[in-house]
Amino acid sequence: MAATDAAWARLQKAGEAARQRRILDLFAAEPGRLDRLAADACGLRLDLSKQPWSLGDFDAALDLARVAEIEAARDRLFAGETVNASENRAALHMALRAPDGADWRDRGVPVSGEVEAVRAQMKAFAQAVESGAKRGVSGEPFKAIVHIGIGGSDLGPRLIWEALRPLNPKIEIRFAANVDPSELAFALAGLEPAETLVVVVSKTFTTQETLANAEAARAWLRDALGPAADAHLVAVSAAPTVAQAFGVPADQVFGFWDWVGGRYSVWSAVGLSCAVALGWAAFEELLAGGAAMDAHFRAAPLEANLPVRLALAHLFNRNILSRPIRAVIPYAQRLRLFPAFLQQLEMESNGKRVTEAGAPVARATAASVFGDAGTNGQHAFFQALHQGTDVVPVDFVAVAEPREGDPAAHVKLLANVIAQAEALMVGRSAGEVREELTAKGASAEEIERLVPQRTFPGDRPSGFILMQALTPRTLGALIALHEHKVFVEGVLWGINSFDQWGVELGKALASRILPELEGKASNPHDPSTADLIGRLKSK
């Protein structure tokens, strides 16, 4: 502990110097900066040279990772040891994407055989639907999937589908997560029940929002097809008997395990909808990309390790420079949901105020994450990124090769993302603004009035992830990169990245308030809550 505290103190000292210099100046002072702070792995290039650390700061951050025993923690994770202490569980999402023949163990108990059995079940089902061997009760081939889940049971598959879907899919996926009935109504609108599969994803098969939507979707199927409509139901759950009691045929229940957290579960049968609609080959490539990043994270030395590098860059901004917000901007419309996916992955995993031992944390944990697709964000919140009072680090994601559309338009997109990263760093000085306005013939009075408005402070940090192409494999690597980044941060903060007790209290109170809104007896509440219940409850 003393060594770790000392390493934190050294890094904190480095932050004092970082506040007194500009990122741009480091390129001149450190000729080898780009070579050391940019690295490639698994089809991704990660450039952290526009971050505020010097090469000496980077070395100090690596020293922190070493004394915090990141490598030993990583070994425990991959060994299937209890890394989720509050729930007494391992975290073995890596086993879900490992190739056949692996030997993953949950606290010594083999799990790879079970994983491979479910994967084979998924493959057989996906191929049967694709070939038409599996049809609806009236003999129609399936043309749509309604995927019902929430949180990790929704965000991962939704991201995968939007990122990889064909322009004209043979099978369409629609999603319903929110208990707001309008979302399911939109998901079902225009679909033919005879051609629709309903995939219900719930670990316990008791999640309130998911069950409400599942019951409504089941009623929609039964109204059109009668009792036989239950053959259109598919369940992904760790509670198979509960799913079968709901009406799902036993051979259409796909299992997963308590060592899979929801936000880490897209690699499991939770991704079944995508495996069916994208085709099994694409889903296998997604798994392969995640497995490749696992191998890199497990074997690469810390100084060359992409998840470690990214975690340390984020930590430098969050803890050393006290920047509590980070923007994630994918310059790819297909990846527009990536910021939302990271919100759950990072903020649910590491939004913790106590250590694994239950003591208050010594420093700030997860940054707040937000973002949108570029170039849309440029016309929304980029004003604040460039000229606002808060310095908000940005992670840019770009794809070198377009998947479809006009190649010339894609070049314009790339020009924008490169320009934004440069502009955040270099800014525009008052002298440059004066020179530009003078060249345009502005009066001296107008120049002095406009200079403060048009000056950009610059020195705003960014990271850059470049994918050569957006493929299932590179997308798998991108997601796994951030999963492991979150784990590294959790180790450095001394917290458990794999539980999520913070979501429980509101759910418990909602279960208590629901009967009151339905007209049953009231419970004691604060005046504001009691007033809202009184205004909204059924008469």
- Residues 453, 443: Cα–Cα separation, whole Å: 16
Return the structure tokens found at 163.
Answer: 């990122």
Following DSSP, what letter does each residue of 111-175 receive, concatenated?
-HHHHHHHHHHHHHHHHHHHHTSSB-TTSPBP-EEEEE--THHHHHHHHHHHHH--SS-SSEEEE
Catalytic residue among 13, 170, 192, 379: 379
| Angle (CA) 216 219 224, round 5° | 135
> Is 379 noted as a catalytic residue in this protein?
yes
Residues β-bridged to residue 175: 147
Distance of CA 134 to the CA centre of its chain: 33
Reduce the secondary structure of 471-512 to three states and give it as a string: CHHHHHHHHHHHHHHHHHHHHHHCCCCCCCHHHHHHHHHHHH
- Residues 508, 498: Cα–Cα separation, whole Å: 20
Catalytic residue among 209, 348, 356, 489: 348
Number of H helices, E strands in the chain: 23, 13
For residue 255, how many other CB atoms are within 10 A of its CB? 18
- Residues 174, 152: Cα–Cα separation, whole Å: 16
> Is 507 noted as a catalytic residue in this protein?
yes
Greatest alpha-carbon pair distance for the chain in Å reads 81
Return the structure tokens found at 143.
Answer: 């043309």
Q: Which of 448, 375, 359 is nearest to 414 (CA)?
A: 375
Does the N-terminal peptide bond of residue 375 adopt cis geometry, omega within 30 degrees of 0? Answer: yes
List of long-range contacts for 447-452, beta carbons under 8 Å, 24+ apart:
none
- Residues 360, 457: Cα–Cα separation, whole Å: 36
- Number of residues in the chain: 539
| Angle (CA) 170 173 175, round 5° | 170
Q: Which of 98, 108, 13 is nearest to 53 (CA)?
A: 13
Query: Which residues have a catalytic role annotated?
Result: 348, 379, 507
